[in-house]
Structure 1
């Protein structure tokens, strides 16, 4: 079992975190931690959510960035700060640097989406694109910092940053002091390290569980002495970190009970659950904690669980796609492919079947040129709104009864339909 934090465990103490709390008071939002009854019903646990997506820049990163910059000398403020980031940390540094009158330089990988570059520039920062990855950007960051005498505001591996993020833990204790466990996303480890120090000092019995995406298991593997394997795009780019922090790793090793790896599908479903059940936006990294609980509900059943929704900066198009996929997963949107003879009246017969079943057709595509279709045949791709899975099953069965072959498109949801 993880033990309480002490000064011997790291250079960061609860006193440091309380000092950071004094700095942040009236400067960043004291976010609420609210019960989530619908998610509780879904997961079989009593769920409480810490809404860090409500911060000015949409994530917890406001906390550490401001604490670090408030520590700078007048000379350091005049020279300016620099960091490397492709997202939330970039915006937090830019936002608070502008508030404090500090010049800010942000190094972003060359492939950073235009919207993120634009958002950061709109906050007054100088943005430089360098390299293909964040590691490449770090090399350029170190070079420019040395050449121009700029102060690095590291995304996670800095005692002041960790202390700032740890104020999340103090607020959790104030709002819900009797939680059984808290599930926190892990990237470089700044948030979970600071939060764990705060929580374990007051509640040595509380379980701190990390949630890391499967494709970037850096902290998970580092604590096990394993060589991590990275790969592929991820919805959780905010925690897609290849190297855990030198300051954060020993804290996590000492205070965190376990790290759970979550899949892309689990993160997608958690984003959808936050939007549909809680009416709030979660980016992939922000949804990782809920994804862990939803992936292994038996592990948390009957327990009082805190989740840190650490960020809500999700691309609107990505969110729209996830929501539509969620409706299809739940059987509220049905996409089917129907093989038909190419003759008059068939399309009318099939659409009438949808109408009789009160299924609202959203889109119809009539294809004749597929080589796997008979010369005198055709394929109908139909997308329609349905009430639920049972309604969709009934509709598909009736189409089959009309004598047509029907298959559900993109079916990876585990539905146990018959062979239509």
Structure 2
């Protein structure tokens, strides 16, 4: 193997402490405070090591570069398709020239390391939805994700004449753990490239599995460049996360298990989360061959729907922006081979919201006492939405949701808990305008009863009108909650008070509900929501970027344990300087949204004479 780059160093800081000496234990070579230290080239595949490298380019701090699948994807142009025979043996190629996935799945090597996961009956959810809901528990795998199946199957089929050099991948998530775990089992050196700001819980997990972790650059764009450099320079084999026949076949073993574990005559549909398409392609290609009557339904979030758009257009599309909440499925373009298969096997696509995904996480917890990650709950969120749109009198029909992963950052549970009831329709967020006079509060509560108040935010602003933000519980059955909310809002209106439903307003849910102080008369104030990478020092850098040029009149931020943080900022800027401000915002590189004219902002944050001239459309 070629010598390491001059940029590489062998000591890395974790939690502010530098590694200075090593102690050998059963996991490999570990320094103090959990630091892992080793030579740049791993001596054995079971020795966890970590290095830090510095990119030569200036990073582009865009939201798309913050997660591995949305960063700098290959363009979806259908150029020359890679011949399958270059990847798999000739006798596994069909006359059409495509892989024989049935044989690839039946001869898969995943069970050398993976377990056949449970198919759990979600009793509580089944009773609520009046059908049999089954959860395929891929969170039970050794790395808590289905990704181990595809990674191991791919690596187990590598030519030993090449694999002795090692494998490489760029990932800080489930794929990274799958590759590292597989490499240890197969005794193949594995290099995992991640951005420098990757939380320690992620890179330490990979290092413990024996992976050689390389922390490189500020974002995944830089990390992918380093991964490609090492692949070429060191002769390593890049393990793709989804767009590969062996990876697809590995994921397809889930479908093989499902058909053994359930009654095929009663199984109506299988729901899969969709990112790059490896999971649903593998399951779909097997199930449709054995039991074509079973529906294969994909689930994406509204703001990361590359497969939905690609299927509608008939070709792979490249999304300009993607939502990052379900980061395990946040891709800008789906895999080429995956898309070819999905065009043949997917019956429907369902799109869900962030709140609906949070509600599904809660549902899975209530039935299994397990906490899955956002992407791991997408399938169930889609199942619930599909059942609501496709009611049936057959309570014995079976529906399967793949709980694809459970690598959840504990800090994110705070966000999930706050959003779950809204996503389930059990809670509504309302804005009420009532007269600023004695007795008005009592009159409002009287109109709300018997619903419980879950949140009540108020601050005196002027002597005429009081603006109140309310959280209210909804107790009616799922199908009747929208009607219950309309009746409740009608009672408030009949009492002579104005009321607005904010349950779907992201500005209200993410920021305004946490601000106390009331409306303020701030001249020339513009309100913006920003997204920035959640890594040490990122918030300070963001503030330092703004401070020299503009006065900040409002600021709200809270850490939710995600890879991406959200900020609401008020910036004072006269009309004549707006073009300069817009140019400045584009230059700082963070995704931003102008919410100056939002009704929520005007009601709870603005005041008479504020923002009267309006904001420049962006």
Q: TM-score range by the shorter chain?
A: 0.7 to 0.9
- Return the match for 1:258 from 336, 343, 347: 347
Aligned ranges 1:380-419 → 2 under 5 Å: 410-412=502-504
SS at match of 1:307: strand
Indicate conservation of the 8 Å contact 1:334/1:392, yes or no. no
Return the offset for 1:94: 1.7
Q: State the match for 1:293 in structure 2.
A: 383
Instruction: Please say if 1:141 is aligned against 2:230.
Output: no
Number of aligned positions between the proteins: 396
SS at match of 1:244: coil
SS at match of 1:79: coil
Instruction: Please say if 1:284 is aligned against 2:284.
Output: no
Return the offset for 1:336: 8.1
Call closer, same or farther: CA 1:346–1:177 in 2, change over 3 Å: closer
- Return the match for 1:72 from 145, 154, 158: 158
Between structures 1 and 2, the one with greater helix share: 1
Indicate conservation of the 8 Å contact 1:53/1:281, yes or no. no
Return the offset for 1:154: 0.9
Q: State the match for 1:102 in structure 2.
A: 188
SS at match of 2:374: coil
Q: TM-score, normalised by structure 1?
A: 0.77
Call closer, same or farther: CA 1:101–1:209 in 2, change over 3 Å: same
Q: State the match for 1:47 in structure 2.
A: 133
Return the offset for 1:406: 9.3
Return the offset for 1:45: 3.4
Instruction: Please say if 1:167 is aligned against 2:257.
Output: no
Q: State the match for 1:316 in structure 2.
A: 410
Deviates more, 1:55-64 or 1:294-303: 294-303
Indicate conservation of the 8 Å contact 2:252/2:285, yes or no. yes
Call closer, same or farther: CA 1:17–1:250 in 2, change over 3 Å: same
Question: RMSD over aligned Cα, in angstroms?
Answer: 4.0
Deviations 1:273-310 (A, max 9, x none): 22234433222222222222222323364442222111
Q: State the match for 1:416 in structure 2.
A: none
Deviates more, 1:170-179 or 1:105-114: 105-114
Return the offset for 1:137: 4.0
Instruction: Write the distance in 1 (CA, Å) between the matches of 2:280 and 2:379.
Output: 11
Call closer, same or farther: CA 1:8–1:111 in 2, change over 3 Å: farther
Structure with higher RCO (Cα < 8 A, 6+ apart): 1
SS at match of 2:372: coil
Return the offset for 1:114: 4.7
Instruction: Write the distance in 1 (CA, Å) between the matches of 2:363 and 2:369.
Output: 9
Return the offset for 1:245: 1.9
Higher CA-based Rg: 2
Deviations 1:173-207 (A, max 9, x none): 11014122212122112112221222122213322
Call closer, same or farther: CA 1:253–1:397 in 2, change over 3 Å: closer
Show structure 1 runs of 5+ residues with no match: 414-420
Q: State the match for 2:102 in structure 1.
A: 14
Call closer, same or farther: CA 1:109–1:212 in 2, change over 3 Å: farther
Q: TM-score, normalised by structure 2?
A: 0.54
Show structure 2 runs of 5+ residues with no match: 1-91, 506-618
Aligned ranges 1:118-137 → 2 under 5 Å: 118-125=204-211, 126-130=213-217, 132-133=219-220, 137=223
Return the offset for 1:237: 1.4
